[in-house]
Amino acid sequence: MRDDFPRYLAKELDAADPLADLRDRFVIGDDDLIYLDGNSLGRLPAATPAHLDRLVRQGWGDQLVRSWPTWIEWGRRLGDRLAAHALGARPGEVVVSDSTSVNLYKLAAAALDAAGGRRTILVDAEDFPTDRYVLQGLAQARGLTLRMLPSDLDEGLRLHELRAALDTDVALVVLSAVSYRSGALLDMAAVNAAAREVGAVVLWDLCHAVGAVPVELEASGAELAVGCTYKYLNGGPGAPAFLYVRRELQSRLRQPIQGWFGQRDQFLMGADYDPAPGVDRFLVGTPPILSLAALDPALDVLAEAGVARIRAKGRRLGELIVALTDAWLTPHGFRVASPRDPDRRGGHVSLHHPEALRISRALATQARVVGDYRTPDRLRLGPAPLYTRYVDVWDAMDRLRDLAERRAWEHVPGEPSRVT
């Protein structure tokens, strides 16, 4: 059966891959380890250590506080870089700051404050937990109704379910463009248009979309968005997140955390809070400069590749996972748990198996393939087009099939752990 898609075909795809050379722009210490978790924590760009070393020694060590006139613009500067290379947004619409969770809170609260008498928030019932928790807290504190939209674990939210829930009481809709579990991809323009018809605002979570699929915030009519930079953007563990507020909306929104970085003429140290004009008003406090700095070398690689080419390769990597699952793994109880149509899927593919947790552990410890487990019974595989080769996907699937033939997970513990 291994002859149905021989390994040399994967090698041929790599030989024709226009992004193949970019793999060398990442630190890959262990060539035998197959890393399919770039959608949790992207790899370390090769230029990052020296870039940070220079910043620490010169910017911090030598220049000290005299570096701040440069650093103070970095949230905006990096926001504009992201806007141009990954988000389809205009200059002055994106800043990098805080975490995705905090930015989600800031923008959701600002939208709710501006929503007049509307009292309903909609969220995908299967959305990433932090989104649901933040909204639960906001709804509780304000006495609003949070409605959970039923959504298919494999196929994601259907547009007709959203349409059925949209009415003139809806203030805010929070959705992920790409589902963290299945990879289901939403049509952002269609969702934005449906919400606009009833006067509701959509706040997009782009964590699994940015750097994997083309995001066109301006063209799709998006108003608000947040997302993280440590997944497909390779900004490093805990790298600060971004937020986007459409230009036309900025002056009408006030965020709830009135910090001094969001203040007009910050260094006049005025008596009362007066929000800065533009997107700066969504900043809060002193940014983590070392973490911000790591985004520059990461964005250099992204800009060189271009999201269109990343997407084209990501589709084919995903199709390879789907095809090899069908051919090799179905007899062993695996099933594709993501949309099969690549137009409806982001960068990762999930496989259903009742023993997914044990399998994901066995795969990492016995077969040296790092993917991850997602509740309730999904093995999630996230090939990152900037550094994952077709042959890596082929080998990972081959190792998984070998594991399945031997049922090698049977002796692996199945208890939950602190991180999965």
| Rounded Cα distance, 368 and 104, in Å | 35
3-state secondary structure string, 50-82? HHHHHHHHHHHHHCHHHHHHHHCCHHHHHHHHH
Is 74 annotated to bind a ligand? Reply is no
70 or 420, CB closer to ligand PLP? 420
Binding mask 241-260 for ligand PLP (x = CB under 6 A): x-------------------
Q: Which residues pair with 349 in a beta bridge?
A: 381
Is 282 annotated to bind a ligand? Reply is no
Is 286 annotated to bind a ligand? Reply is yes
When asked if residue 205 is in the footprint of ligand PLP (CB under 6 A), the reply is: yes
Binding mask 161-180 for ligand PLP (x = CB under 6 A): ---------------x---x
Is 160 annotated to bind a ligand? Reply is no
380 an active-site residue? yes
Is 230 annotated to bind a ligand? Reply is yes
When asked if residue 223 is in the footprint of ligand PLP (CB under 6 A), the reply is: no
202 or 404, CB closer to ligand PLP? 202
CB of 131 to ligand PLP, least distance (A): 6
Six-digit token string for 343:
């137009």
| Rounded Cα distance, 111 and 244, in Å | 13
CB of 104 to ligand PLP, least distance (A): 7
Of the residues 63, 67, 99, 366, which one makes contact with ligand PLP according to CB under 6 A: 99
CB of 175 to ligand PLP, least distance (A): 10
Which residue is catalytic, options 230, 242, 373, 390? 230
207 or 329, CB closer to ligand PLP? 207
Of the residues 207, 215, 225, 233, which one makes contact with ligand PLP according to CB under 6 A: 207
CB of 369 to ligand PLP, least distance (A): 21
Name which of residues 101 to 160 contact ligand PLP (CB under 6 A): 101, 128, 130-131
Which residue is catalytic, options 76, 81, 374, 380? 380
Is 68 annotated to bind a ligand? Reply is no
128 an active-site residue? yes
Of the residues 76, 208, 345, 374, which one makes contact with ligand PLP according to CB under 6 A: 208
Give the residue ranges of the annotated binding site: 100-101, 128-131, 205, 208, 230, 260, 286
Contacts to ligand PLP by CB under 6 A: 99-101, 128, 130-131, 176, 180, 205, 207-208, 228, 241
Give the residue ranges of the annotated binding site for pyridoxal 5'-phosphate: 100-101, 128-131, 205, 208, 230, 260, 286
The residues annotated with a catalytic role in the active site are 128, 205, 230-231, 380
